[in-house]
Each structure stands twice: as structure tokens, then as C-alpha cells.
């Protein structure tokens, strides 16, 4: 099941974040995201347990996927894919024609994951993360349901 983030989810989200990224978002960053973008933050629940989350927002006609992670114990079970597809559906309904994201160049798992979902590696953003370049990946959303 995928549902909207609730403040009581914060500790679980931060635990997953810390086990997923070398430079995790702080608790404050999640609180700020929820505040600024309350309709863009969703969590995946299985057997009552929060096992993943996604944050995305609409920027003009483009969706921007800001954060995504799945509890390491529940990876390779389709949870990340379900979160992205859910987000794509939502953004498309809001008028997005494309979705983009940035990913660390060293994050080969995420690059393979997004490629499997139909994202294309568009360009390199030099020193996006200060110490590391990012790859900008995009996916066109028009006509997906035709």
C-alpha cells in the first residue's frame, strides 16, 4: 500500500534514509519538505511496516523526483518501482510532461533501477554534490497510457 506521509512516520523514514545514503538528509530536511510540499511525500507500507518513501514535486510542466529509498531488507521486491510508478501517475495527472532526477554518478544501483523504469541518462551535472558529479536522468510522460 502507498499512502501520504504522516509526521509519525518521520523516525522510520530517517532510519531508512541513513541506511541508504552516504550523505543522508537530516530530519529537518524531511520536515521542511513535508511542510513545503505536503502532497508530494508518500510512503510504502507492507504488513503495517513502513518500508520505503518517495518525494517529488511539480515544477512547471516537469516533475522533479527529489528523494527515494527502500529499506535495504525489502529491496528487489518491486517496492521502489511501485513508488516511482505511483509518483509518475500522480505527476502526470497534475500536468507533468516529463520527470527528471539527479543521481550520484557512483550510484550504479539507482542508475540501473531508473534505466529499467525507462529513464534516460541525459547529461552530467559537474560537482552537483560538491565532491561528486551527478547524472541527470529524464523520462517523457506524454502518451504513456495510450
Ligand X SMILES: CC(C)(COP(=O)(O)OP(=O)(O)OC[C@H]1O[C@@H](n2cnc3c(N)ncnc32)[C@H](O)[C@@H]1OP(=O)(O)O)[C@@H](O)C(=O)NCCC(=O)NCCS
- Tell me the catalytic residues: 102, 114
Shorter beta-carbon distance to ligand X: residue 81 or 95: 81
- Residue 73 C-beta: closest distance to ligand X, Å: 11
Separation CA 138–CA 133 (nearest Å): 16
- Residue 75 C-beta: closest distance to ligand X, Å: 3
- Residue 120 C-beta: closest distance to ligand X, Å: 15
| Residue ranges in contact with ligand X by CB under 6 A | 20-21, 68-70, 75-81, 101, 103, 107, 109-110, 112-113, 116
Q: Which residue is at the shortest CB distance from ligand X?
A: 80
- Angle 104-1-96 (CA atoms, 0-180°, nearest 5)? 55
Amino acid at each position: 500500500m502507498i499512502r501520504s506521509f504522516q509526521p509519525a512516520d518521520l523516525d522510520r523514514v530517517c532510519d531508512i534514509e541513513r541506511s541508504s545514503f552516504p550523505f543522508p538528509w537530516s530530519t529537518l530536511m524531511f520536515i521542511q519538505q513535508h511542510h513545503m510540499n505536503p502532497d508530494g511525500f508518500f510512503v510504502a507500507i507492507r504488513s503495517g511496516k513502513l518500508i520505503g518513501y518517495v518525494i517529488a514535486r511539480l515544477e512547471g510542466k516537469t516533475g522533479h523526483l527529489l528523494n527515494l529509498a527502500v529499506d535495504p531488507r525489502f529491496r528487489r521486491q518491486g517496492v521502489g518501482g511501485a513508488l516511482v510508478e505511483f509518483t509518475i501517475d500522480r505527476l502526470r495527472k497534475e500536468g507533468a510532461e516529463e520527470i527528471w532526477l539527479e543521481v550520484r554518478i557512483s550510484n550504479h544501483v539507482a542508475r540501473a533501477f531508473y534505466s529499467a523504469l525507462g529513464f534516460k541518462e541525459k547529461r552530467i551535472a559537474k560537482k552537483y554534490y560538491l565532491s561528486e558529479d551527478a547524472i541527470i536522468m529524464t523520462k517523457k510522460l506524454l502518451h504513456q497510457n495510450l
